[in-house]
Structure 1
Amino acid sequence: MALSSYLTFCGLCAALAVTPGPDSLLILRFSLQQLSSGIAAALGSALGNVVWALMVAIGLAALIEPSAEAYRALTLTGGLYLFYLGTQAVRGRKRGRQGPAEIGPGTTGVMSSARAGLVSCMLNPKVGLFFLAVVPQFLPEGGTVFALTMLLGGTLAVIVLVYLTILCLLAAKASAWLNQPKVSRTIEKMSGLILCALGIGTAASAY
């Protein structure tokens, strides 16, 4: 692959990473509770990109592209998952911050955050379409498809991880102000409502 093509791909990855979406919102929510949870969620999201790349590289994800039903199922599942996270955020505040994003320090909290980031990425149809529609354009003829696909997937994962980690650090830096009761209640409620809206919009786009 030519260096110019690779740099172009990196630019597209950066544009995808900084586009506001459910992953960014999840990372902000986790980071406001605990920096390690936010970073764990970022790692989970980055890992999701690697898994997508692996699926495309071995041809599994290609089955989604020609199948309208498979794509619709993925989109609907992703929408329902986002809606679930949104309702958990709103209800968690009402239950005294006992939701999944408010798990205390420890392995369980970190693993739960990483799992949420991974699942959010895997159920995001936009990420899947990026690998199915964009990545193949950067695979030169005669090249090793599997190795190059994994290289591009790894590149996207690193760029996403860097961006989301920056979000984590910024959120943690501002946590003293953002975690004031009145401010945090507003943020928790708004983030939950936004996730619900994203979930409804994603699910609706399946039809």
Structure 2
Amino acid sequence: MTLLSLLAFAGLCLLLSLTPGPDTFLVLRIALNRASAGVAAAAGSASAAIVWAGLVGVGLAAVLEQSAEVFRWVKIAGGIYLVYLGVSSFLKARRAARAGIKEGAQAPLPYSRLAGFGAGALSTLLNPKVGLFYLAVVPQFIPRGGNTLATAMVLGAVEAVIAFAYLAVVAVLAYKAMKWLRRPKVNSTLERASSGIIAALGVGVLASGAAS
């Protein structure tokens, strides 16, 4: 694999990272109250992306493409998890509002760094589109006669680094923005909106999976 090919793949990954998706909204939601938890969620998502790259390297991800039923159920599982995240976040925001948090007080921290890492990793692991992306794109960059697993892992690492860098920036900026927007009404509106978006994405995935 040449340096030019590697740079081309990195450019593709950057463009994909800049396109908002479930991981972006998840990291944004978690980081609103704790930047380090948002960064941990970004790390979890990046780590899970490497796992998908490994699955493609050994040929396991091909099952998702060849079996419509497996793809359908993995897709539904991912949708259910997104709905759970959105609903649980919405309920936490309502409880915080009812508690009457005073302006300027520290907002509750619903996610620890470990919980953030786990949420980011599970969200990406349950997203079959990540596996299908690797399945469709990675083979294009594997040289004839090359080591498929090694090449897939290198490309997976490149994608993971780019995705982590972007999502970490999103997490830090989201937290810094909340320091300026700490008023209870504004905070509650943002949390409910991001929770609603996550839940809506999950419903869309469920509808798509049920229809396939």
Pick the TM interval, shorter chain: over 0.9
- 1:198 match: 201
Aligned-pair RMSD on alpha carbons? Answer: 1.6
| Residue-by-residue CA offset, 1:42-92 (whole Å, 9 max, x unaligned) | 100110111101111122211111000010011111111111111011111
Q: Which residue of 2 aligns with 1:80?
A: 80
Cα contact 1:32–1:178 (8 A) shared by 2: no
Give the unaligned 5+ runs of structure 1: none
Matched with 2:172 is: 169
Aligned counterpart, 1:2: 2
State the aligned residue count.
Answer: 201
Render the CA deviation track for 1:168-197: whole Å, top value 9, x for unaligned: 121122121233211111011111111111
Q: Does 1:103 align with 2:103?
A: no
CA distance in 2, matches of 1:178, 1:30: 16
Over residues 94-132 of structure 1, what are the superposed CA-to-partner deviations in whole Å (9 max), with x where a residue is unaligned?
2227xxx9336xxxx111110000011111222111111
Matched, 1:124 2:155: no
* Contact 1:139 1:145 survives alignment (8 Å): yes
Normalising by the residue count of structure 1, what TM-score does the alignment of the two structures yield? 0.92
Unaligned runs of 5+ in 2: 98-107
State how far apart, in whole Å, the 1-side matches of 2:181 and 2:47 are. Answer: 28
Q: What is the alpha-carbon distance in structure 2 between the residues aligned to residue 125 and residue 18 of structure 1?
A: 19
TM-score by length of 2: 0.90
Q: Which amino acid aligns with 1:62?
A: A
Matching residue of 2:101? none
Q: Distance in 2 between matches of 1:103 and 1:197?
A: 21
- Residue number among 118, 141, 148 corresponding to 1:138 in the alignment: 141
Off by >3 Å, runs of 4+ in structure 1: none
Q: Is the 8 A contact 1:32 1:179 kept in 2?
A: no
Tell which structure's C-alpha radius of gyration is larger: 2
Separation in structure 2 between the aligned mates of residue 102 and residue 95 of structure 1, nearest angstrom: 12
